[in-house]
Amino acid sequence: MYTFAIFLPLLGAMVAGLLVFVGGEDEERRARMDRAAQWSTCGAMSLASIIAMFLFKEVALDGNPYTVELFTWIDSGALEVSWALKLDSLAVVMVLMVTVVSTMIHFYSIGYMHHDPSIPRFMSYLSLFTFFMLMLVTADNLIQLFFGWEGVGLVSYLLIGFWYDRPAANAAAIKAFVVNRVGDFGFMLGIFAVFVLFQSVNLDTIFSAAAGKADATIQVFGGEFHALTVIGLLLFVGAMGKSAQLGLHTWLPDAMEGPTPVSALIHAATMVTAGIFMVARLSPLFEYSETALTVITVVGATTAIFAATIGCVQNDIKRVIAYSTMSQLGYMFFALGVSAYSAGIFHLMTHAFFKALLFLGAGSVIHAMSDEQDMRRMGGIWKMIPVTYALMWIGSLALAGIWPFAGYYSKDTILEAAYAAGSGVGGYAFWMGITAAFLTAFYSWRLIIMTFHGAPRADERVMAHVHESPKVMILPLIVLAAGALFAGYLGFEYFVGSNAAEFWGNSILVLPGHDALENAHSVPLWVKYLPLVVAGAGIALAYVMYMFAPGLPAALASSFSAVHRFLLNKWYFDELYDLLFVRPAFYLGRNLWKTGDGAIIDGVGPDGLAAATLNLARRAAKLQTGYLYHYAFAMLIGVVSVVTWYLFTRAG
Amino acid sequence: MSQFSILSLIIFLPLAGAGFILLGNRGDEEVAARDARNVALWTSGITFILSLFLWYNFNTETAEFQFVEKAEWMPGLNISYHLGVDGISMLFVLLTTLLTPICVLASWRSITTHVKEYMIAFLIMETMMVGMFSALDLVVFYIFFEGVLIPMFLIIGVWGGGRRVYAAFKFFLYTLAGSVLMLLAILAMYFEAGTTDIPTLMAYNFPPDMQRWLWLAFFASFAVKVPMWPVHTWLPDAHVEAPTAGSVILAGVLLKFGGYGFLRFSLPMFASATVEFTPLIFTLSVIAVIYTSLVALAQEDMKKMIAYSSVAHMGFVTIGVFTLNIQGIEGAIYLMLSHGVVSAALFLIVGVVYDRTHSREISTYGGLVHRMPVYALAFMLFMLASVGLPGTGGFVGEFLVLVGIFQINTWVAALATTGIILGVTYMLYMYRRVIFGKLTKESLMKIADLEKREIVVFAPLVILVLWMGIYPSSFLDVMHVSVANLIEQFQTALAASENLALAGQ
């Protein structure tokens, strides 16, 4: 029964997918197919999210985790893997979050995409994505996790490149897939290493064996290393790719080429958090490797501040939110790194609501502004779209972590846990997190002010057209806004508060001694209030710079032009990678082909041999001149040689 | 089952069909062509159905050869007509019998000259291929193994593209050069062991020094067939010039001869030499994976790109075969099967647009999705299978091979895994340039989507790709016992030759 929650989206995707091909040229018929696709996917998703609520109650609230085994998948020697759904608290939290947010975005898309000629395809992709995401979070073995992982990557690729006429969209789509594959390279090696160590890739088996392998070593790359550290680091490379952490992040901002609902669903609420989920899911492995956890903390904290700095100077409304997402993912990672897994998941959940809200709100703005995304050509529209404006405020307040919005509960818990970890990297993460919190508030209000306030900077035609979005778009936003308002308050006790142990059951392991989260409740008062203070300061600064002294940003940009350019160009990562990997790969490919295959292998091998044979034959042919005296002369030489040879050998 | 000689029937039915076409209508060219097509389709179709019977009645509990037929042929020389299949070869027979009717159907319209001869060549080729996979006598094996060359040579040389003669000769000479060495080795084995019976030879212990030479001689032949780097350059040329169906058979079945040969001969018969030469295989394979993936990235010709990607995939296969563990070998076999389906499908995909525009150049396309959505979807699916997306057939084999090699050598595993990054890059890059973008080229404005016949061609391949990805047990279960037995045979042989070496000291 509950498995329907997972497979209904697949069904919806298949139905809508079929409708893509039956539309034909007839306008009216197409419109009917469009509606059928919208209804079937939205219906399937609604049903799935209702089932997910029951599932959540059954498994997480009543504490009855279980596993549904479907059928054998891969079976080869010791490697035995089934298609199976592992439904424990961690999984059902994700299932509920994914289905609810996805359903809202499905409905929103009805309004947002209503001009688009490819509605069934879009709806089909959204549902297919949801299915893969659900397979990912309910996986009971690493290979199925990888199945969902690659599946969401695929649909992400398809949706970033949804408008396939645009070269930029196509390029971004490929970039997303390839960069993620770089991460998957680590993920796959990690899975292999797990198999070598445990002779199994089933989660339950490896979790129960992990304690016994705490000190085991593994032979890799010519050395012997602590096995669980190797595994943890390799798997984390995969997580970095999917969750756009520093180094493997370059695809996420470009991914904003996709339609806005996609950015909200995939590149904010769900897929990009898969890395967080994976690490939390594998807490029984990561717990045994201090090194891996340290690396995760440092990478997360660095990403949090790195992305926030870039977010402050971007002008594309969606890119600002994209960098904000990266930054928030960084927070989640350093929470995991200090063993506050449940705090990370808590923030994942609240973030899904308020970030989806922000993206969809931005989408509503873009919709109102006739597809304009550049904030420098917005402004002065808050009275014209008041509902969107209010909703953006709610999303931003939640993002900035202002009491009593959702972000306040989850983000503060993370910062407190980092502080309470008491370690060097914990301290680093705390201070980076505080600084990033300041920047977060700053760029959020920079966005609000640039978008909604001041003098209108769009042309008259656009301004005349500004309108509030239809109900089908606004209602989902209101549901998400409710989440951004209350999810933190409601979830706090269960996720990280007094009911946490009961709520999570066995789905997350934290070893004794890793008690950052417990200590987080008893940190000094200034730690508790500092995030609020810096957030307030950030908001105030944004008001000063963009509302009260609008000349200030330009003056700053010109007096610190090097810094500004560095940030505007996103720390030059794209240029660096282009120089290091992309160009050399094509250069090598071309040369190996022309020189390696062409000149050397073929030149020396078959062609060379053929040419040599031909050459020899030609020379032989040349000897046949047809003149009698040539032949006579040759014969004479022959006779002389034979005689000479005979004489010499006889003499010798 | 063996009473009514099912294997012989499967092998020689296509030959009979070829004879039928040959003797058939000699009058009107048009009618003769139509008859030839029909006869070829029916014959290969019935052959396929017969081969399903093979699968249905296959006993997965035993490693013994099944459906065995043995008749005296040259009793004085101890050479017999000996056939049989086990869990390693049976599925290759099915792959062959599946692809042949698909090829016939795919050539329905695109081949218009010498149709009779073309169909005859394909049917003879089917006989040779099935015979090769089910031969249990070295002489029978060699005849079929080499016999395949002739129809393929003709198909490339007669119905091929502009540089067909160059490509045909390159293909023929390369493969022949390797095979001559194998023939010598077969003779040497015969004089040493006194028999050419394959099951007997599997249990025979050749002296280690001799093994080395025998191994190298077989390697020369198989490496060309696989093809391994650096003897791979015949493949891109052959693929580019071959007609679509020729490429399908070439990529789908012929490339598997090498991998199959390693499994059938090199591993069980020359165990100690295998151990010695494994580093060589790994080195060449890793180079193949990375080198050809990079080369594929630079290609402007769709067929050439898929050809290079085949070399890369075959690099995974040879790695898997020589891991000598269950996952590696099963992965290699599985990858050969799925690559047989996927690469065949990709060549058919190229064939579809080639039939319409007569261009293989990537740059002549762009924006096809606007006119050909069904085509774009099919192309997408096969492309994803080729890059090994989980849920498609391509993933299972690749993954198992990598699991296998990681247990043996992590460096090889890591280097080979880079292939999955490069693979996705060149495939997506090509797909984007062909399918996506605006439809601006004049020549493509009226291009038509897949027609019914083409959908019939692709449907079984689509189903197989997903089936192999979602429920691989249907295929893996067939090979478990045989692969386990192969590994055991190998270990026994290795132990025996070590004893021999010790006794010799």
Residue A67, pLDDT above cutoff 70: yes
pLDDT at position B103, please? 92
Q: What is the pLDDT of residue B465?
A: 95
Distance CA B34, CA B47 (A): 20
Closest CA to B497 of B311, B280, B309, B271: B271
- Collect all residues with Cβ–Cβ distance below 8 Å to A58 and sequence separation of at least 6: A2, A64
B505 shares contact with chain A (CB less than 8 Å): no
Residues of A in contact with B373 (CB under 8 A): 20-21
For residue A289, with 0-12 CB atoms within 10 Å meaning exposed, 13-18 middle and 19 or more buried, which class applies?
buried
Average pLDDT, chain B: 89
Per-residue buried b or exposed e for B478-502, using 16+ beta carbons within 10 Å of the residue's own CB:
bbbbbbbbbbebbeebbeebeeeee
Assign B66 to helix, strand or coil.
strand
Report whether pLDDT(A441) > 90: yes
Contacts of B384 in chain A (CB under 8 A): 154
Q: Which of B343, B151, B146 shows the shortest CA–CA distance to B247?
A: B343
The arithmetic mean of pLDDT across residues A121-149, rounded, is 94
- Is the pLDDT higher at B93 or at A608? B93
Packing angle, helices B410-435 and B393-408, rounded to 10: 160
Question: pLDDT for A624-636, tens place per residue?
Answer: 777 777 778 888 8
The strand pairing partners of A219, in sequence order, are A224
Which pLDDT score is estimated for B350? 92
How many other CB atoms sit within 10 Å of the CB of residue A27?
9
Show residues of chain B in contact with A196, CB under 8 Å: 406-407
Name the residue among A147, A157, A588 with its Cβ closest to that of B390. A147
Confidence class for position B460, pLDDT limits 50, 70, 90: very high
Place of tokens 């504490």: A63
Cα separation, A372 vs A136, in Å, equals: 35
| A270 close to A358: Cβ distance less than 8 angstroms | no
Contacts of A173 in chain B (CB under 8 A): 428, 432
User: Which residues in chain B have their CB less than 8 angstroms from residue A193's CB?
Assistant: 406
pLDDT at A330 over 90: yes
Q: How far is CA A464 from the centre of its chain?
A: 38
Alpha carbon A123 to its chain's center: 20
CB of B312 within 8 Å of a chain A CB? The answer is no
Shortest CA gap B231–chain A (Å): 8
pLDDT tens, residue by residue, B166-205:
888 888 888 888 888 899 999 999 988 888 899 998 888 8
Can you tell me the distance from the alpha carbon of B349 to that of B344, in angstroms, rounded to the nearest whole number? 9
**Nearest to residue A440, comparing CAs of A531, A547, A546, A559?**
A531
How far apart CA A55 and CA A48 sit, in angstroms, is 10
Give the lowest-confidence range in A71-80, A119-128, B26-35, B179-188: B26-35
Residue B206 — very low, low, confident or very high, per pLDDT cuts 50/70/90? confident
pLDDT at B473: 92
Tens of pLDDT, residue by residue over B27-40, are 777 888 888 888 89
- Comparing A184-198, B21-35, B388-402, which segment has the lowest mean pLDDT? B21-35
CB contact under 8 A, B414 and A221: yes
What CA–CA distance (Å, rounded) separates B163 from B234?
13
Two tokens, residue A189: 């090696």
- Which pLDDT value is given to residue B195? 87
Measure the CA–CA gap between B143 and B130, rounded to whole angstroms: 12
**What is the structure's pLDDT at A22?**
83
> Per-residue pLDDT for A116 more than 90?
no
Residues of A within 8 A of B297 (CB-CB) are 585-586, 589
* Tokens standing for residue A156: 């992400």
Task: Among B236, B396, B410, select the one facing A220 at the smallest CB separation.
Answer: B410
pLDDT of residue B434 exceeding 80: yes
Residue among A46, A96, A545, A108 nearest A362 (CA): A108
> In this predicted complex, what is the ipTM?
0.92
> pLDDT higher for A119 or A574?
A119
pLDDT digits (tens, 9 = 90+) for A462-491: 888 888 888 888 899 999 999 999 988 888
Q: At A127, is the pLDDT very low, low, confident or very high (cuts 50, 70, 90)?
A: very high
Structure tokens at A458: 């769009």
Q: How far apart are CA A142 and CA A187, in angstroms?
A: 10
What's the CA gap between B474 and B463, in Å, rounded? 13
Could you give the CA distance from residue A258 to residue A373 in angstroms, rounded to a whole number?
13
Helices (H), B107-163: 115-134, 138-147, 149-159
Express as a percent the part of chain A with pLDDT over 90.
48
3-state secondary structure at position A384: coil
Residue A306 has pLDDT above 70, yes or no: yes
Mean pLDDT of chain A: 88
B291–A79 C-beta distance less than 8 A:
no
| Interface contact A596-B291, CB threshold 8 A | yes
What is the reported pLDDT for B3?
Answer: 55
Tell me the per-residue pLDDT of B312-371, one tens digit each, with 9 for 90 and over: 999 999 999 999 999 999 999 999 999 999 999 999 999 999 888 888 888 889 888 888
Q: Identify the pLDDT of residue B264.
A: 92
Specify the residue for token string 């212990």: B205
Residue B102 contacts residue B248 (beta carbons within 8 Å): yes
The number of C-alpha atoms within 13 Å of B45 and in the hemisphere containing its C-beta is 9
pLDDT of residue B110 exceeding 70, the answer is yes
Judged against a pLDDT cut of 90, whether residue B481 lies above it is answered with yes
Q: How many CB pairs under 8 A join A and B?
A: 147
Q: What is the pLDDT of residues A238-293, one digit of tens each?
A: 999 999 898 888 898 888 988 999 988 888 889 999 999 999 999 999 999 999 99
- Dihedral sign for Cα A534, A539, A542, A548, please: negative
Mean pLDDT of B299-303: 90
Residue A208 has pLDDT above 70, yes or no: yes
- Looking at residue B31, what is its pLDDT? 83
- pTM of the entire structure? 0.91
CB contact under 8 A, A178 and B174: no
- CA dihedral A561→A565→A568→A573, nearest 10 degrees, is -150
What was the pLDDT predicted at A324?
A: 93
Q: At residue A651, does pLDDT exceed 60?
A: no
Q: Mutate which of B170, B430, B436 to disrupt the A interface (most A C-beta within 10 Å)?
A: B436
The distance of B411 to chain A (nearest Cα, Å) reads 6
- Check if the beta carbon of residue A368 is closer than 8 Å to that of residue A466: yes
Confidence grade of residue B412 (pLDDT, cut at 50, 70, 90): very high
Q: Is the pLDDT of residue B241 over 50?
A: yes
B230: confidence class by pLDDT, cuts 50, 70, 90: confident
- pLDDT of A25 reads 75
Torsion of CA B13, B19, B25, B26, to 10 degrees: 160
On the question of pLDDT at A583 being above 90, the answer is: no
Which residue in B295, B384, B411 is closest to A593 by CB distance? B295
| pLDDT band of B2, cuts 50, 70, 90 | very low
User: Cα–Cα distance between B241 and B358 in angstroms, integer?
Assistant: 12
Sorted by where each begins, the domain ranges of chain A are: 4-568, 569-604, 616-652
Q: Is A76 helix (H, G, I), strand (E, B) or coil?
A: strand
